[in-house]
Amino acid sequence: MLAKSSTELVRQQNSALVLSALRRYGRMAHTEISDATGLASATISAITAELERARIIEKSEQQAATGRGRPRVLFSQRRGCGYLITVIISSDSIQYSLVDYAGTLLDRFTEPRGEGSTATFIASISAALERAVSRSRIDPGSVLLVSVSSKGLAHPSEPVLIWSPVFGSQPVDFTKALHEGWSARVILNNETLLVASALIEREARKPAGGEPVLAALSLGHSIGLGIGRRGSAGTPEILAPNFGHMLHIPNGGLCRCGAKGCVEAYAGFYAILRTAFEVPMDTIPAKFVPLAEIDKIATRARQGNRMAQLAFRQAGVALGNGLSRLLSLHGHMPVFITGPGTRHQDLLQSGIEEGLAQTQVVRLGGMPELTIVPDEPSLVFEGHLNLAFSIVDQDIILSRPHLQAAGE
């Protein structure tokens, strides 16, 4: 059934629009907001007045002197309105970042990721979150959202890790990472989903409009994939399919997940290692392969070593076949490749292209555009901010059913 609409919803939608414009362009004047959103000047007055009363945005101090005329008043998010903590979990460490409502980074620290059960893992995160707020003397109650990312499979709605490289199918529930006094919501997303989110936003900022749909492929110890799409309603739609553990070859090489023949079991770092050293394909793969090890194999491959070359070629074909299946099931789209594996793109490229070439979608639609974007960490952080702030802004607007005209 469709949803009903009302005049109040109109205001909500348009308030969200104003906040999102402020996110995208940062610090805007009345008229700029009007131009960017398409709303009438009078409407901007009403909305900004309301948001200002609610102490969500504020008139910024420094106003650019823009020649003659009445000086423009710039609006921006009120920093103290709330805070956001991003938690980026990687295989060997965890990075914490504290960000204020205006999007500026206040604090950042990285901790090694300890061994142990999921309970001790959650406890260490919990402690780090406490540390983050106390170091910056912030009231835990003013943390609006904790945004967590990890490799692996996240529950579609709850912040629960359903499968991860480290804990396997043992679920990890991040709601438990918050002590009392924390009213924040917790969200969990796959790391490559955030990359896709960042890329789709970058594309959206391009003047020409940019690609409205794309895939992000992350190459590393594990293989991640995110799909981003700019929906008709304007809200980007982002998902992280289980690409790395999609079936590549029936009854193929043993994968870390326990299944056989996953893409990752051919294209992940451990798979490259396994093939290069001619270890049997049913061997339980290494928990963690140092990047230097892969670099060594790559060097050998570039020097002409056959098994090393085969290892990368096999990885490339697995990725190419997988991408061809992606295009078959999600339609044609450009692919952005990121992650540490991109350093060896020269060794993977031909395999990827070969793996893609055979299928009907590629024969009809042509080879998809492949773009290398090496700096994955910035993409991940950018994705965190995009997604987190869109949720925070939405929450703030919804939680304030009537920002009444409460006089001074």
Yes or no: say if 129 and 161 are a contact pair by the CB < 8 Å rule. no
What are the φ/ψ torsions at residue 400 (nearest 5 degrees)? -120, 75
Q: At what angle do helices 30-37 and 7-25 cross, to 10 degrees?
A: 110
Q: Which of the residues 32 through 51 are near a copy of itself (CB under 8 A)? A: 36-39
Q: Which helix (H) or strand (E) holds 100?
A: strand 93-100
Residue 397 Cβ, how far from DNA at the closest point, in Å? 11
Q: Which C-beta is closer to a copy of itself: that of 37 or that of 192?
A: 37
- What is the residue whose two structure tokens read 């199918």? 169
Tally of CB atoms within 10 A around 13: 13
6 binding a copy of itself? (CB under 8 A): yes
Min dist. Cβ of residue 98 to DNA (A): 31
CA–CA distances in Å: residue 388 to residues 38, 137, 157, 184: 25, 22, 14, 12
Please tell me whether residue 2 binds DNA under the rule CB under 7 A.
no
Contact status: 250 vs a copy of itself (CB under 8 A): yes
Other Cβ atoms within 10 Å of 358 Cβ, number: 11
Task: Work out how close the CB of 349 gets to a copy of itself at its nearest, in angstroms, rounded to a whole number.
Answer: 18
Determine the distance from the C-alpha atom of residue 312 to the mean position of all C-alpha atoms in its chain, rounded to a whole number: 27
Which residue in 99, 129, 217, 262 binds a copy of itself (CB under 8 A)?
Answer: 262
- Closer residue to DNA in complex, CB, 4/137: 4
**Is residue 208 near a copy of itself by the rule CB under 8 A?**
no
Answer yes or no whether residue 326 interacts with a copy of itself by CB under 8 A.
yes
Binder of DNA out of 25, 45, 155, 363 (CB under 7 A): 45
Phi, psi values for residue 208, rounded to 5°: -70, -10
Q: Which of 153, 154, 194, 403 binds a copy of itself (CB under 8 A)?
A: 153
Q: Closest separation between CB of residue 18 and DNA, Å?
A: 9
Which amino acid, residue 339? G
Binding site for DNA (CB under 7 A): 4-8, 10-11, 14, 29-31, 38-43, 45-48, 65-73, 402
